[in-house]
Chains A and B, each alone.
Chain A
Amino acid sequence: QSALTQEASVSGTVGQKVTLSCSGNNNNIGSYAVGWYQQISHGPPKAVMFGNSLPSGIPDRFSGSKSGTTASLTITGLQPEDEADYYCSTWDYSLRAQVFGGGTKLTVL
């Protein structure tokens, strides 16, 4: 069981706005920023968000936010190439571990 909870699946149509959530507690998301990683067809993960900062080369339709113990990744203007698995991750000082969510499968209809 993951320390961070994500939706198993989310879907949207091209051009739509979708939000993926990542829920934790005060030991992890409540204390540290959250990274988001995109994985297409079980290839290597790719960083798409560092807290609320965009990594170099990531389109600005991706945005990140956090409120309390829940982090969110929003994609505004969904594109077919955004179809992937998305994982959130942060440090948990109680577990003394880098924790990942179980992943959300994003389907672009």
Chain B
Amino acid sequence: QVQLVQSGGEVKKPGASVKVSCRASGYIFKDYGIGWVRQAPGQGLEWMAWFSGYNGNINYAQKFQGRLTMTTDTSTNTAYMDLRSLRADDTAVYFCARRTVVEGDWYFDVWGRGTLVTVSS
């Protein structure tokens, strides 16, 4: 079945970087996009970036421009999210999700279980 398996939780100090992985299985990786969405404690969902399987473009939320890099490795069917210059308010659960098209519109149809990133001195 289609699965997205994320790497384990991380604890980082302010100013450090974190790299979270998302390994896909059960489908042809290059035929779909991958997105990253985070959720701070007690808060709602916040989109960060997505990679288009259609044309290879990567789109970042303006809030994270310059601090976030999303990459993919098609040899291992894995997507990565690299967030730099971490602050306390980056403490959140980070989800990856498969991006698919339904009747011409794009949605996240399968989600990973999430990776808790804690930023604390």
A interface residues, Cβ below 8 angstroms from B: 2, 32-33, 35, 37, 39, 42-47, 50-51, 53, 55, 87, 89, 91, 95-103
Contact = CB atoms under 8 A, between A and B. Distances in A.
20 contacts: A2-B44, A33-B104, A37-B45, A37-B108, A39-B45, A44-B95, A44-B111, A45-B45, A47-B107, A47-B110, A50-B105, A51-B102, A55-B109, A89-B108, A97-B47, A97-B62, A98-B61, A100-B44, A100-B47, A101-B44
A98 B105 contact: no
Contacts of A33: 102-105
Contact of B107 (A42, A50, A97, A99): A50
Interface in B26-53: 35, 37, 39, 44-47, 50
A7 B59 CA distance: 29
Contact of B114 (A44, A91, A97): A44
B46 A45 contact: no
Given A32-B105, A100-B37, 18 more contacts: A33-B102, A33-B104, A35-B108, A37-B45, A37-B108, A42-B39, A43-B113, A45-B95, A47-B110, A50-B107, A51-B102, A53-B102, A55-B109, A87-B45, A89-B47, A91-B106, A98-B50, A103-B44
A102 B113 CA distance: 20
B14 interface: no
Nearest to B42: A42
A102 B61 contact: no
B26 to A, nearest CB: 13
Contacts of B109: 47, 50, 55
Contacts of A45: 37, 45, 95, 97, 108, 111
Contact of A98 (B35, B95, B110, B113): B35
Interface string B49-74: 01000000001011000000000000
B33 to A, nearest CB: 11
Interface in B81-117: 93, 95, 97, 102-114
Contacts of B44: 2, 87, 100-103
